[in-house]
Structures are given as C-alpha cells and as structure tokens.
Amino acid sequence: MKYTVASLFAGIGGICKAFENSGANVIWANEIDEYACQTYRLNMQETELIEGDICDIDEATLPDFDILTAGFPCQSFSIAGYQKGFNDDRGNLFFETLRFINAKKPRAFLLENVKNLVSHDHGKTFRIIMESLKNSGCLIKYRIMNSMQYGNIPQNRERIYIIGFRTKKDFDKFVLPSPIPLRCNVGDIININDRKDDKYYYTQSSKFYELLTESVAKEYVIYQLRRTYVRENKSGVCPTLTANMGTGGNNVPIIKDNFGIRKLTPEECFKFQGFSGIDIPKGVSNSQLYKQAGNSITVPVVERIAMNIVDALDGKNLNNYIHDLYPAQKDGTQLSFDCIMETVLEKNQYTCSA
C-alpha cells in the first residue's frame, strides 16, 4: 500500500523527499518561507504546497492522509536561538502541529527538532510536549540521532526524532533505526580538484586571510572561522550546518582545495545533508540557499525512519523481517539485530549518495 503524507513546516522538502524515497506519496505540504517554497516546488512538483502561515490554515481543508510530518521551528529551543522555548512564538508552533494531529488523527507522525529540546528548561518543555502527544491518544517513541551515526553522512548533526502512532498494533511493529558505520567521508563530497567560483575563495583583501593561511593546512578537513581563531574539526566530518550560514559573515565552514582556501558552496552543503541531485531555483541568493541547507534535515536519516514507519503500517516487524532474511546459524543461535545490520551494510545497502 502506498501511504499518503502531509508535511508541516516542510522547508525545501527534505523530510518529504525521504518519505517519497521510502515509497510514500506526499500529497500536501505547508511552508511559510517564500524562498524555501521555490526550492520545494522545483523538487516536489507533484505535491500540493500551501505557502503561508500555518496559523491561518483550517485543518478541515486538508485532504485525509496516513502520516503527518513536522520539523517545527527549532530556534527557540536551540543554544543559538537563546533557548526562549514556549516564550518565543516559534516555540508555540508545536501546538499548531498538535492541532493538526488532533484534528486529522493520522495513523503515524514524525516530528523533528534540535536535541536541545530534551533538556530545555530543565526538561519541562519536552515533558509538556510528550504529555500533550500522549493526551491526544498517541503512543510515542523517540531518539536523538546523529547524521554521521545513523545516515552514513559525514556531518556531526544531532537531532531528536519523535515518532507517534495511533494504535498499539502499529506502535509495536515499529523499530527505531540502529547506528550504522560511517563509510562516506569528506572526500566523497568535496572534490579538491574542482575549482569553484572566485566568490567562495578568501583573498589577500580579506582581513582573515593571514589567519586562515596560517591555520588551514590540511585537505579534506573542514574548518570553522571564529572571531579570533580557526577551529579544525578533528573528527573528520563536517560540523553542524546551521541556518546562520545565511546571515553572511564567517558562519560557512571552510575547506582547502588545490586552488586556495574557500567556503563550502551551497551545493556542497546540500550534499552534507544527504541530498542527491537537488534542483536549485534560479535567482535565489546564496544566503537563502545556505539558510535552506542549514534548516533542512539529513535525508538518509529520515529515510531510514520513514522506511520503518511504512513497514510498521504494513504490519511488518523489522526484527522478524530481517531474521527471516538471515535465519539462525548452523549451531541454532540467532544473529543479533546489530550483527545482521552490519551484514546488510557490508552488502552496500547504504552508500554515500553525494
């Protein structure tokens, strides 16, 4: 069965693309940012996109759907956003999501936010969210997942994913994804032999040029320019991409290629979010594209969650399903779930899509 999906705070369509890749049909979406809508429409042409404020949308006007997704604004819960929480209008947009859950009663939903949501206001914010969802009659599972541990994407990006189901039958069938080895590296995404537009390179006219030339020495290593120093990301992955990249200045991560020291391009940032072959609309500024990349999700992470949601709604228990594919060994013992996942990965089920 091809399940239908509606998406709130859809952005450029990262979550929608993940569900589409998992075999679902994304029929409706809402996004307020006009530039994000341009990118969304170019890449999700079959989906009805409503551009505008979610507060102005009557839930009764939505078509029926099986799954609801929402990456409700995270700035009010993040460290970068000063952690105002429900005291910020953006934080209260969670209750708009709840309004749609209560009205439409989807079989399943997926919510995404920054990991700081769990600890915000000493855990009170998260407790309110969990209690509100449970009071709506939903059964909940959640996990903080890092893109480099759950998506085979070399970006250090931790996000919380909250998955809810209307029935215990579907809830019991759903299995949260397990960590997988990181096989994709920075060199799979960055081509140091490919010269980019001059505007991305630092030149002697930059006040940071001397500092950068002294500090940025390694290829395939991503750096961050701080006010008085340059930080090398020694983990071998890209640091968390943020919406602040779109504000200008020195928020965009830095790489050294064979032509100089430069910022990552918007296209490279999209690749570090796991987008493959994204179409970029003409006339949209780089600042907006950086903002879009930083606001998005890592597609392969959500795709793994989406696949498991679809399997649960189909009545498949992932543990039983995989054990059917990999039956007991000759001595009668059953491989552990993690060992089986490692076997699947060895067969290149998850590959770097950059």
Catalytic site residues? 74
Amino acid at 313: L
| Angle (deg, nearest 10), helices 14-21 and 299-313 | 50
- With b for 16 or more beta-carbon neighbours within 10 A and e for fewer, the 242-262 pattern comes to bbbbbeeebbbbbbbbeebbb
Q: What is the spatial distance between Cα 76 and Cα 83, in angstroms, rounded to a whole number?
A: 5
| Angle (deg, nearest 10), helices 124-135 and 93-104 | 20
Here the tokens at position 184 are 């994709």
Calculate ∠ Cα 300-51-30, nearest 5°: 40
Rounded to whole angstroms, what are the CA distances from 112 to 21, 31, 51, 69? 18, 15, 20, 8
Rounded to whole angstroms, what are the CA distances from 108 to 32, 318, 332, 346? 24, 17, 37, 31
Q: Is-contact 132 92, C-beta < 8 A?
A: no
Q: What is the spatial distance between Cα 215 and Cα 222, in angstroms, rounded to a whole number?
A: 11
**Residues forming a β-bridge with 28:** 6, 48
